[in-house]
Amino acid sequence: MMSSQIKSSDNVKDLLKILVKKDSSFVQETPGSYSPIVSAYTYNQMVKKDFSMLVTGSTENNQVGRYAALSVDKNEQSFSFSPIIFIPEKKDEEKFRHVFAINASGKLNNNGFFDFSNRKLLRVGGSWTALLVSRYRYEGLSDKTRKSNQEIYELVKDDLIKKIDSEDRLEQLKSKQLDYKEAYHQEVEKIENIVYKNVWTTKLLAWTKLDVGYSEDKLKIVDSINVQNSVMDPMNKSISGGYFSLSGNIYYGSKKGFGIYLNAQLSYSKKTSLSEIFSTVEWNRVRYGSGTNNTVYYDIEEHSVYIANFSTLKQRYKRDISVQVLGFIPFGQSNLIGLDVSYQNKEFITPGSTTFTSNKNIFSLGIMFPLRDKDGKTTINIEPFWRNTSFTNYDEGKDESFWGVKFGVPLNQLF
């Protein structure tokens, strides 16, 4: 029994020596402002937390790629959430790169809060996020300091070995249940985060996201050509099919407060002439009565419906493109101000035709004001914005503009 314990103890010590050698080799690569100064495990955990902060506003690693969002304006309500994620296991020295997720999203017309009775566009699918670039720059770290800080690995190893060799019975019981590899990495990460907390000056992250899945758009329609057949009950129409979306994203942030985020997206989905119209009209369902010389109409139910020529309501795959730029600049001694500019171009089938394409253009401009907590860290953005909607190749489309306010997670929270 004693021989077995000694052998097990020797195996753990050998494992710890291997981990120390790997980490020491990793941080001794070619010197420079982007060369490694922390262990591969610490670096990966840092990138995960920062990436999670950008996507979800939370530093929890298990939240990377998992999120929920809600947006409401005068014409539509939209929501999205990602309840299931999977991050492939990596070796200690391999960079964190991929996130797989199951996503769901939808849109409703804004007749009532989350009213599913009239119009609903629902999507369910999967996504693949690939982190292509993660480069962190540091300054003010001499070679002497770097070499001194490399003692961290030996010191953590020696501390764990003391626990293994301890004659204290309680420590022996604890050590038997301990995952020494994980314990070593976590202790090194904790110390390196303290030691190097203030040396990072800029952070650059670039990633792509691919979404594929199934969508279904359900709505009620009154046929503008054959109204009498629609009077008793509006027709139910379902537009269903696959969808595809690919986006590219870049984030660059500075310790001084400057930050910029760029996003460009291309997507394809099945659409009709009603795909970009979420405002309905009121339609009274009527019943015919007899017994008099004239037909009598009784209003028995009110619907929110769309009026369209049913014979020309065809389905085609159409594309959407969007571009967004978010930026922060320092303002005053300790304040920031940001700008949010976005443009969307959405294709749909021109109403009354089966082949022509029209476009819905949405331009938005907002000014972001980050709010700070008692410790001086920014917690949330308040953003007054102006949005303009216009149409191309659709004469009946009405241009409109409105002001609103939205809230978001501040980009500079990575520092």
Taking only the tens place, the pLDDT of each residue in 289-330 is 444 333 333 343 455 666 667 777 788 889 999 999 988 888
Whether 39 is in a domain gets the answer no
In this predicted model, what pLDDT tens digit does every residue of 240-273 receive, in sequence order? 889 999 999 999 988 888 889 999 999 998 887 7
Residue 49 lies inside a defined structural domain of this protein: no
Give yes or no: residues 169 and 285 share one domain: no
Of 167, 191, 215, the domain-final residue: 191
Q: Quote the pLDDT of residue 289.
A: 40
Tokens standing for residue 208: 């792509």
Same domain, 114 and 150: no
Do 123 and 170 share a domain, yes or no?
A: no
Number of DSSP helices (H) and strands (E) in the chain, helices first: 7, 14
Tokens of 412: 């500079």
Cβ density class 230-244: b for 16+ within 10 Å, e for less = bbeebbebebeeebe
pLDDT > 90? residue 108? no
Q: Which structural domain range is residue 89 located in? A: 71-139+196-414
Q: What is the DSSP letter of 38?
A: S
> Among 45-59, 293-307, 389-403, whose mean pLDDT is lowest?
293-307
Percent of the chain with pLDDT over 90: 22
Phi/psi of residue 271, nearest 5 degrees: -135, 170
Number of domains the chain is built from: 2
pLDDT digit string, tens, across residues 6-30 = 446 778 888 899 999 999 888 876 6
Is residue 327 within 8 Å of 338, Cβ to Cβ? Answer: yes
Q: What distance in Å separates the CA atoms of residue 50 and residue 136, rounded to the nearest whole number? A: 11
Spatial distance between the Cα atoms of 410 and 392, rounded to a whole number of angstroms: 34
Query: Residue-wise over 182-217: b if at least 16 C-beta within 10 A, else e?
Result: ebbbebbbebbeebbeebbbbbebbbebebebebeb
Give the pLDDT score at 249. Answer: 93
Model confidence pLDDT, tens digit, residues 273-285: 777 765 554 444 4
Phi first, then psi, for residue 9 (nearest 5°) are -65, -40
pLDDT per residue as tens digits for the range 165-218 = 765 666 655 666 668 888 899 999 999 999 888 889 999 999 999 999 998 877
Q: Detail the DSSP E strand segments found in 290-376.
A: 296-308, 316-331, 335-349, 357-372
CB 214 within 8 A of CB 60: no
Same structural domain for residues 280 and 388?
Answer: yes
Domain identity same for 206 and 253: yes
Q: 235 vs 129, 285, 312, CA distance in Å? A: 40, 12, 14
Q: Are residues 224 and 352 in the same domain?
A: yes
At a CB cut-off of 8 Å and minimum separation 6, what does 92 contact?
A: 19, 22, 39, 40, 41, 44, 185
Q: Are residues 381 and 351 in the same domain?
A: yes
The reported pLDDT for the residue numbered 1 is 41
Computed on alpha carbons and rounded to an integer, the radius of gyration of the chain in Å comes to 29
Query: Is the confidence at residue 51, as pLDDT, over 80?
Result: yes
State residue 393's pLDDT score: 87
pLDDT at 383 over 80: yes
303 and 170, same domain (yes or no): no
Q: Within a domain: residue 57?
A: no
Q: Are residues 134 and 151 in the same domain?
A: no
Summarize pLDDT for 120-175 with one digit per residue, the tens: 678 889 999 999 999 999 887 777 777 778 889 999 999 888 877 765 666 655 66
- Strand pairing category for 200-223 and 296-308: parallel
